[in-house]
Chain A
């Protein structure tokens, strides 16, 4: 991994941290089963994964354990989310026969949403979906699920239906089958995982850069000024003036990242529904 931008060599210039410092956390213990070097090493990311899972379960339990006829605030909000997944995703893409996948797709949506929201929650500020482990695991789950659903619904013929297109000349199949095979069985899980991962990683880097830049321009600049660095004493006010729009933009970007996080949760769930729907019936 290379550094993010070409950093200044001087001590006083604006320096960005190495990109590995933003995403890699050391294990909490030195040795043992959950310690450093072990496959099960427990660090901040692992703790946040557990927290996200507990939050997802807790939210759903708190909202639906004792459902009231007149819903409270939490129940009403969660009912809106269920309704969104039910009508906006399953109803629009799979149809009525897809309602049995509602629990899976709803928990998928909520879990990814909570993980993405960690990016902007103060004190956490780390989108756990920006480590490849979680998107890769979720996308492999969906990958095996849609193959299983396809084999269950169409039998072994599913594999042929998935790679061929009906109604094209036989000679064209030589060209189409390899392309469809690569795109369905090799690129699908890869792009599904990378789409979520890269979006959240880009968002995390973006927020880090703008907030470090505004911190440097508005706050660090004072300490340098009082230290008596001549160039900064002369040009410090320019830097301070430039820092104000950067800070306003940084605050606006937080709102933008909330939008991106919810949109990515929606897109991941929707693509999962599209893949399941493609397996349920052959293309026409």
Chain B
């Protein structure tokens, strides 16, 4: 009887862990998602207004994406570690 309860508890823990994995990544992706959208949107606007500055803008845009994306990737790695 006790064993049955233990087994059930173990199964529940596994389910909760899987749920937590998904939630960690999903929550971590919200902020960077908004950030990258905002960043690329404004970069495109800048390139449209001043096409001759496009190469400078796109270099800085990739730089900004790399910094913003790091947060989402930390969440992705954390989801596997948990």
A contact set with B: CB distance below 8 Å: 1-2, 6, 19, 88, 92-93, 191, 194-195, 197-199, 202, 263, 266-267, 270-271, 274
Contacts and interface: CB of A to CB of B under 8 A. Distances in A.
Nearest to B56: A92
Nearest to B67: A191
8 contacts: A2-B18, A6-B18, A191-B70, A195-B73, A198-B76, A266-B62, A267-B66, A271-B63
A270 B69 contact: no
Contacts of B63: 270-271, 274
Interface string B44-71: 0000000000011001001101100110
Nearest to A196: B73
Nearest to A268: B66
B59 A198 contact: no
Query: Taking chain B's interface residues, is the majority helix, strand, or loop, or is none over half, making it mixed?
Result: helix
Contact of A194 (B17, B55, B74): B74
Given A92-B55, A93-B59, A202-B76, A195 B66 contact: yes
Contacts of A199: 73
Contacts of B62: 263, 266-267, 270
B32 to A, nearest CB: 12
Q: Which 4 A-B pairs have the closest CB atoms?
A: A198-B73, A191-B70, A267-B66, A92-B59
Given A2-B17, A2-B18, A88-B55, 12 more contacts: A2-B14, A2-B21, A88-B59, A92-B56, A191-B74, A195-B70, A197-B77, A263-B62, A270-B59, A270-B62, A270-B63, A274-B63
B66 A271 contact: yes
Contacts of B73: 191, 194-195, 198-199
Contacts of A191: 70, 73-74
Contacts of A198: 73, 76-77
A199 to B, nearest CB: 7
Contact of A1 (B70, B77, B80): B80
A89 to B, nearest CB: 8
A2 B79 CA distance: 10
A197 B76 CA distance: 11
Contacts of B69: 195
A3 to B, nearest CB: 9
A263 B69 CA distance: 13
B82 to A, nearest CB: 9
Contacts of B80: 1, 19
A198 B62 CA distance: 17
Nearest to B69: A195
Contacts of A1: 80
A19 B80 CA distance: 10
Contacts of A197: 77
Interface in B8-67: 14, 17-18, 21, 55-56, 59, 62-63, 65-66
Nearest to A199: B73
Nearest to B62: A267
A199 B62 CA distance: 15
Contacts of A267: 62, 65-66
A270 B18 CA distance: 36
